[in-house]
Amino acid sequence: MQAIGATGALAVAGCLGGESQANTEKNEPAAEDDGLPAAKSVDVDRIARDPTDIPPPVDWDEPREHDVTIRTERVTAEIEPGVTFEYMTFEGEVPGPMLRVRRGDRVNLTFDVPDDLNMAAHNMDFHAVYGPGGGADATTIAPGDDPA
β pairing state of 65-80 and 122-123: unpaired
Separation of alpha carbons 30 and 33, rounded Å: 8
Give the burial string for 69-90 (b: 16+ CB within 10 Å, else e).
ebebbebbbbeeebbbbbbbbb
Residue 84: name the closest of 11, 17, 14, 13 by CA.
Answer: 17
Nearest one of 2, 127, 107 to 64, comparing CA atoms: 107
Q: Which residues, including other chains, have CB under 8 Å from residue 42's CB and lie 6 or more apart?
A: 76, 77, 78, 84
Q: Is 127 annotated as a binding residue?
A: yes
* CA quadruple 3, 75, 22, 51: dihedral sign: negative
Q: Is 66 annotated as a binding residue?
A: no
| Binding-site annotation: residue ranges for Cu cation | 122, 127
**Residues annotated in the binding site, as ranges?**
122, 127
